[in-house]
Amino acid sequence: MNTAKSYTATRNACKMCTPLGAALVFHGIEGAIPLLHGSQGCSTYMRRYLISHFKEPVDIASSNFSEETAIFGGGANLKLAIENIIRQYSPGMIGIATTCLSETIGDDVPMILSGMDQGEGRTDLVHVSTPSYTGTHMDGFHHAVRAVTAYCNPLGSRIRHKPKPRKRINLFPGMLSNEDLRHLKEIFEDLDTKLILLPDYSERLEGPSWVEYHAIQKGGTPIRDIRDMSLSDASMELGALLAGLSQKGEKTAGTILKERFDIPLVSPGIPIGVKATDSFFSALEEITLKPVPEKYKRQRGRLIDAYVDGNKYVSKKKAVVYGEEDFVTAMAGFLAEIGIIPVLCASGGRSGLLKQALTQILPQNIRDQVHVHQGMDFTQMEEAAKKLSPDFAIGNSKGYTLSRNLKIPLVRTGFPIHDRVGGARILHIGYRGTQQLFDTIVNTLLGNRQDISTVGYAYM
């Protein structure tokens, strides 16, 4: 594996900041409003960024620090912000994420919150610590999921023993697209199994026009469902990295439920590709005790058939894969499965687990052709990619400059996608999502072959 030149500054980062991930999670909870404790600019920036991908209303409140607040502490601002949000929006939950400003001055948010007289006390106030000088948006995302799960399922909360006609599963999907989340819900419906999916922003961040006005858009995981997580039969967390983190002893939503309530936890990778989706469905079979429905077997069959038909177009092609570490791992696994060599796997994240996760997922025979870089920005990526002559790049819109400079096509997946429509409607997971990715990749390569050909062949 090669060593890329290291730089002090980051040029064109391949990561966003922690509170953004947390704000997204709170949009996946019914009736919740995210509140960033810090400068108002953070809320505005993250709103506009999420909106540019989802093309939907995204509301993020702020405690609007002034210079004075920065000096004397943000307690009063935070309380006032909470009161005003409750008055205007009557939310079920306010998710408070601390920005680098409130983290640097060391505001003790749990203490401020515990000192609040909430009156009727209908609004849950959940705090998640997200200083943007640690980790990436992905860490903010996981930490928010963990904070909400821990808050709603406190240790010692009474375990009710009710007769359970149906199995009930907690699923922590990670940062997937709306279409991915809808697909997961469909799978559980087909398995006739109760699903508690956290977060689920698939409706709230892709709703229809309103017949009547909504202060907070409809959709999201009901808070009462999150409270019932302690009663579920099993939990599932998607993402090879997430699994690695929990193995390292870092707490995740799943490990907290396991520790507190002894709920079994399974942690497959994100189901992209046949192998990963097979493991996902096997794990589902195991925890739901339901056989994989015929529908998915047929999807699998069609996918394998398409692999066979399209192999000639993709075999031994080389790809640059970038984005969140979990996403990169899953995508690289899929590419390798169809004969594409993910010559450069890069992420702005620095969990220290990417290399190991890829080693596990990639077949031995191509591992020495794969260059893995954590903490990498797009400029370094471009330098590294130049030497590897890739055929295409796959990842979010921010790779456009790289693909333009290297004159290779870009297959847009993941987040953020703000130079194409429908970014949130891309299906990446399951046999059906893999099928769509496969078709898109093949067609992109074919299209590129036509574009660069001096003769206009229509029959490829």
Partner 1 sequence: MSTTIKDPGTIKPADMDLPDPETIKKELLARYPAKVARKRSNQIIVNQKDEDGAFPEIGANVRTVPGIITQRGCSYAGCKGVILGPTRDIVNITHGPIGCGFYSWLTRRNQTRPPTEADDNFMTYCFSTDMQDKDIVFGGEKKLKAAIQEAYDIFKPKAISIFSTCPVGLIGDDVHAVAREMKEKLGINVFGFSCEGYRGVSQSAGHHIANNGIFTHVVGKNDTIKEADFKINLLGEYNIGGDGFEIDRILAECGISIVSTFSGNSTYDQFANAHTADLNTVMCHRSINYVADMMEIKYGIPWIKINFIGAAATAKSLRKIAQYFDDPKLSKKVEEVIEKEMPEIEMVRDEVKKRCGGKLAMLFVGGSRAHHYQELFKEIGMKTVSAGYEFAHRDDYEGREVIPGIKVDADSRNIEELSVEKDGEKYNPRKTEKEMDTLKTKGFEFKDYKGMMEDMEKGALIIDDVSQYETELLLKLYKPDIYCAGIKEKYAIQKSGIPMKQLHSYDSGGPYAGFRGAVNFYNEIDRMVNSKIWGYLKAPWQISPELSAKYGWE
Write out the binding residues for partner 1, residues 392-411 only, by CB under 8 A.
401
Q: Is 89 in the site for partner 1 (CB under 8 A)?
A: yes
Q: Is 386 in the site for partner 1 (CB under 8 A)?
A: no
- Report which of 177, 329, 320 is spatially closest to residue 241, judged by C-alpha positions: 329
Q: Binder to partner 1 among 279, 356, 379, 443 (CB under 8 A)?
A: 379
Q: Binder to partner 1 among 131, 219, 323, 333 (CB under 8 A)?
A: 131
439: CB partners within 8 A, 6+ apart: 306, 310
Q: Which is nearer to partner 1, 83 or 192 (CB)?
A: 83
Residue 321: DSSP 8-state: E
Interacting positions 337-366 with partner 1 (CB under 8 A): 348
Q: Is 448 in the site for partner 1 (CB under 8 A)?
A: no
Q: Binder to partner 1 among 31, 38, 269, 423 (CB under 8 A)?
A: 38
From residue 454, how far is each of 405, 449, 457 by CA, in Å? 21, 10, 9
Minimum distance between the CB of residue 336 and partner 1, rounded to whole angstroms?
Answer: 30
Q: Binder to partner 1 among 22, 25, 35, 113 (CB under 8 A)?
A: 35
Q: Which is nearer to partner 1, 251 or 350 (CB)?
A: 350
Q: Is 224 in the site for partner 1 (CB under 8 A)?
A: no
Q: Is 345 helix (H, G, I), strand (E, B) or coil?
A: strand
Minimum distance between the CB of residue 437 and partner 1, rounded to whole angstroms?
Answer: 26
Q: Is 440 in the site for partner 1 (CB under 8 A)?
A: no
Q: Is 178 in the site for partner 1 (CB under 8 A)?
A: no
58/36 Cα distance (integer angstroms): 13
- Report which of 237, 282, 245, 238 is spatially closest to residue 264, judged by C-alpha positions: 237
Q: Is 3 in the site for partner 1 (CB under 8 A)?
A: no
361: CB partners within 8 A, 6+ apart: 240, 269, 276, 329, 330, 332, 333, 336
Q: Which is nearer to partner 1, 54 or 281 (CB)?
A: 54
Q: Is 155 in the site for partner 1 (CB under 8 A)?
A: no
Spatial contact of 346 and 376, defined as CB atoms under 8 Å apart = yes
Q: Is 18 helix (H, G, I), strand (E, B) or coil?
A: helix
Q: Where are the alpha helices (DSSP H) in 263-348?
A: 274-288, 294-314, 325-337
Q: Which two tokens stand for residue 202?
A: 């698939």
Q: Which is nearer to partner 1, 182 or 350 (CB)?
A: 350
Largest CA distance in the chain: 74
Give the total of residues touching partner 1 (CB under 8 A). 74
Q: Which stretch binds partner 1 (CB under 8 A): 5-13, 157-165, 268-276, 446-454?
A: 5-13
447/458 Cα distance (integer angstroms): 10
Q: Is 282 in the site for partner 1 (CB under 8 A)?
A: no
Minimum distance between the CB of residue 348 and partner 1, rounded to whole angstroms?
Answer: 8
Q: Is 328 in the site for partner 1 (CB under 8 A)?
A: no
Q: Which stretch binds partner 1 (CB under 8 A): 165-173, 211-219, 240-248, 448-456?
A: 211-219
Q: Which two tokens stand for residue 351?
A: 């969990």
